[in-house]
Every structure is written in C-alpha cells, then in structure tokens.
Amino acid sequence: MDDSGIYDCPGYYWLSDQGNPSLSELKMAYFKVAIIGRPNVGKSTLFNRIVGKRVSIIEESKGVTRDKLYKKAEWLGKEFIVIDTGGIIEGKNVDMIYRKVREQSLKAIEESDFIIFLTDVTEGVHPLDEEIANLLRKKNKNYLLAVNKVDNSRREMELGEFTRLGGEDVIGISALHGRFVDLVLDRICEYIGSRTPLSQEELPKIAIVGRPNVGKSSFVNAILGEERVVVDHRPGTTRDAVDTQVKIDSHKCILIDTAGIRKKSKIKSPVDYFSSVRTQSAIDESHVVLFMIDGWEGIRHDDLYYIYRIWEKGKGMVLVINKRDLIQRPIPEYEKLIIQRLPLARYLPVVYTSAVKGYNITQTLLAGLEVYKNLHFRIKTSELNRFLQMLPEEKFPRKGRRILKIYYGTQTGVNPPQFVFVSNYPQLVTKNFSSFIERSLRSRFGFSGVPLRLRFKSREGEGRKK
C-alpha cells in the first residue's frame, strides 16, 4: 500500500458516486481539513491517528471517488471533516495512476477550508515540499506546516529549516506515536472559530464599565459629539446595557454602555439587581473592557475587585482615568500610586480623559481597538522557540539534580492568547517562574492590555496550568 491509503487499508471507507445522497450535504455543512504532502511522509498515519485515536468518530461516510477519504471528527466540541489524500508528485514522466492521485489531491486542496501540509523531518526540506508550498501560496490557502517523525527533542532542533515553507505555523509531530498531534488539532479548532464572516455581531465589542457616577454617560455623550465618530444607535431597555455601532476613522466596533457595577451587598432594589445582571452579561459578551476610574477619587476597593474578575475572564482591558482636569498630582507621580494600588496596571494601557471637556475621547476608543488586536495576536512557533532559547538558564527552577528544561513551545489559541510549553519536569514550574515567562513574553512581543494563559506539560501530555 502506498501512503495515500487507496488500496487495502482496514478501517477506510471508499467514496462512491452512487447510493449516498447525503454526501454533498455532509461536505457542504462541515469545515473541511485536508492532509496534503508528497508520498510516504505519513499522511495516512496522521489521518488514522486523528479519526481513530485522538478524536471521537461521529459518523463514517461513503462518497465521491476512490482516492480521497473522508471522515467526520470532533475535537474540543468542534466538528469537522478530515480528508486523506494521495501523495502529490510533479514531473512529466509520472504514470497515469499517480496523475489521477495528484488530480484528486488538488481537488481536495480546492474544496478544503484548511490544510495540514505534512513533511518529513528525517528527509529535510525536499524539492517537492517547496513545490507544494508554492502551490498552496498561489491558491491562497491557509495551511499549517506539520513536520512528521519528530520523535524526540533532538529532532525538534531540526525544525528551523522548514520555516521557509511558510504556513500559519510550524509544529513538529509524530503521527505514529501521537506526539503533539493535539497541538495540530487545537490549531484547527481555533481556525474554525475564527473563520466566521465579519458582521455586526463579529465586530469588536467594547464595554464601558465602572462604578456609578464615574463619568460613563458623559463619556458616551462625548463620543456621540466627536466629528471623527459615526454612530448608529441600538437602544436597550431602561437601565439596560446599550449597544451602539461606532465607526472611528476606518475602524468599526460595537460600544456597550453599561449601568454602574455594584457588589451584591450594595444592590438595594430589583431594578438595581436587573441592571447588575445585564452589566455582567455585557462584560461576558465583550472582547475589551474600558474600565473607568474617577480620577479625583482614585482606585477604590470595589474597582480592584471587578478589575481582577474581568481579567480572570480573559477580557482585554484599558484603564480609563476620567476627570483628568481634577487630578492635582503630576501624572508620573499619580501613575506610581496607581501601580502601587493595582500592580496589574503595568500590563494595561492607561488613558487619561475628561469626558466633560472632550479630552482624549477618540484616543480611548483607539486604545480599545489596539487591545482587541493584541487579543488576536499570534506568535509563530519558530519565533516563539527562538525566544525560549534566548532565556537565561539561571532563571529556570531546579530541585536537586533536576533542572527544568523547556523543549518546545507553541501558541495554541487567541482571545486571550494561550501557550503550551512542553518540558521535562513541569512539576518544577513555580508561580515565580510562570510570571517570569509571562513578563518575558510581554517584553518581547507586547500583549498590552490582554491576559496570557500559560500551560506547562510533559511529553506524555500531563501538565499544569498557570
């Protein structure tokens, strides 16, 4: 049997044009992922690993041809179709069978939504790999580069040369042993979640949150009066959150005005209760929170409580200091007091405004949009691993003869950014070390205004979250 699995492979289901009227519906309704590559790089092994071991098989279907294989699969609650293909071979002297296989592989590329481009680390970058990469670029296809047969950390050091093949990311895997296949599936699911066409519901949602009487309504009124801001009202109910579609310069977003946040102990009436519930819902629905502080009063205990709760929810945040004109201290001195009171402010953009005087209104909205971009910022795996190699060894924790070593890191998600680091002894990871990694990531890549999720795991898959 060749790598395409076209011939006698137990567990595979041939697709036929006859007797399955639901196939076209199945193919249209689900996100499709094609495994593409030259022959003998392990495509069928990866296909079997995904649909037979790592992912629940929901349905087996027969359909179109004899040399493309489809199976429906699920990972992290996302359903998708996996397409196994034959190897792509170029050249004029290729026999008819391989030409047919190549034609079906090209059709799989055309019909797929996302592609796993599989290569072989033991052979390095093959000329056929470069031809396939060029083909995918010409067709403007989103693809992840998976380098197969990376069975150990020594092989991981050879991934660098494959970055020239491009792709959304580069991940070293072992399809045979299942090593890091879960990271490939995480990446697929993240792409599925990000592919919805942009509509009003998918515009950045920015909620204005703060205690009563800190100036939220004045801020919204100031926005309505800005010449650079075009507003389309979407009114809510009394004391409800109000959604407004806003366009500032060429940028669009949904602005959500909320009632003042209150602790449960301070809710005195049913109306206040309803208002509080809707504010919490608005926070949950938003991407970014403009948390407004009364500059005259400073940061109070209630502010701290809600700021950290919002941060733990994974929301982006801008700290908005309103009533700038009433602050008596010099701003540098005032900022030191903020950081003493709220150490998290080191990671937040801080904007000083005066809603009454219309000061820094558009700058505040633009800061929120910038944080939204940071929520969706992605570091390529190759760049992330170069960053890890530059970290000073003396910062890594040790216990006796055991010294923590990070073999490999990859970003597995966005909104908020999520990272997985594969190490020899994840149990050695301390809170201080996790904080060091986070600070280093922020220093190198930014991530202003967004929380980061770090996870340390062993090669066997058991790890701990930080």
Same domain, 184 and 259: no
pLDDT of residue 99: 66
Tokens of 64: 């179109």
In a domain, 11, yes or no: no
The pLDDT, as a whole number, for residue 236 is 34
**Which pTM value belongs to this model?**
0.64
Concatenated DSSP letters for 317-366? EEEEEE-GGG--S-HHHHHHHHHHH-GGGGGS-EEE-BTTTTBTHHHHHH
Q: Among residues 319, 346, 375, which one ends one of the domains? A: 375
- The string of pLDDT tens digits covering residues 184-219 is 998 888 888 766 444 434 789 999 999 888 888 788
- Residue 12 in any domain: the answer is no
Treating both helix axes as pointing N-terminal to C-terminal, what angle do 361-375 and 216-224 enclose, rounded to 10 degrees?
100
Q: What is the pLDDT of residues 415-450, one digit of tens each?
A: 999 999 999 999 999 999 999 999 999 999 999 999
Shared-domain flag, residues 223 and 344? yes
If one counts every other C-beta atom within 10 angstroms of the C-beta of residue 141, the result is: 18
151 & 224 share domain: no
- Claim to verify: residue 164 and residue 280 sit in the same structural domain: no
Last residue of a domain, one of 375, 397, 421: 375
Supply the pLDDT for residue 247: 80
Q: Are residues 44 and 141 in the same domain?
A: yes
Whether residues 78 and 209 share a domain: the answer is no
DSSP for residue 8:
S
Q: List residues bridging with 322 in a β-sheet.
A: 294
Q: What is the dihedral of CA 266, 271, 273, 274, to 10 degrees?
A: -150
- Please check whether residue 18 lies inside any domain of the structure: no
Q: How far apart are CA 414 and CA 450, in angstroms?
A: 10
CA–CA dist 85, 457 (Å, integer): 32
Helix axes of 431-445 and 381-389: crossing angle, nearest 10 degrees: 120
The answer to whether 138 and 109 are in contact (CB under 8 A) is: no
Contact 307, 320 (CB under 8 A): no
Residue 9 lies inside a defined structural domain of this protein: no
Q: What is the pLDDT of residue 343?
A: 95
Strand order of the β-sheet with 251-257 is 229-234, 242-248, 251-257, 205-209, 288-294, 316-322, 350-352
Beta pairing class for 114-120 and 251-257: unpaired
Tally of structural domains, the chain: 3
- Residue 399 domain flag: yes
**Whole-angstrom distance, CA of residue 40 vs CA of residue 3:** 5
Residue 281 within any structural domain of the chain: yes
Same domain, 331 and 218: yes
Please tell me whether residues 316 and 447 are part of one structural domain: no
350 found inside a domain: yes
Residues 353 and 315 occupy one common structural domain: yes
Tokens at 171, concatenated: 């991940």
Residues 168/141, Cβ–Cβ less than 8 Å = no
Q: What does the buried/exposed string (b/e) look like for 264-280 if buried means 16 or more CB atoms within 10 Å of the residue's CB?
A: eeeeeeeebebbbebbb
Q: Are residues 183 and 206 in the same domain?
A: no
Sequence-separated (6 or more) residues with CB below 8 Å from residue 331: 352
**Can you read off the two tokens belonging to residue 108?**
């799989």
> Does 336 lie in the same domain as 238?
yes
| CATH code of 111's domain | 3.40.50.300
One domain, residues 153 and 65: yes
Buried residues in 151-164 as b, exposed as e (16+ CB within 10 A): beeebbeebeebbe
User: Which domain, by its residues, includes 31?
Assistant: 23-194
The angle formed by the CA atoms of residues 333, 339 and 345, to the nearest 5 degrees, is 125
Out of 194, 216, 238, a domain closes at 194
pLDDT at residue number 96:
57
pLDDT-flagged residues of the chain (< 70): 1-29, 53-68, 89-101, 168, 194-201, 226-242, 262-276, 460-466
Residue 195: which of 51, 65, 80 has the closest Cα? 80
Name the token pair of 14. 């041939």
Q: Tell me: the pLDDT tens digits for 373-411?
A: 999 999 988 889 899 999 999 999 999 999 999 988 888
In a domain, 13, yes or no: no
The answer to whether 352 touches 360, Cβ cutoff 8 Å, is yes
Q: Which DSSP state fits 54?
A: I
At 232 the pLDDT is: 47
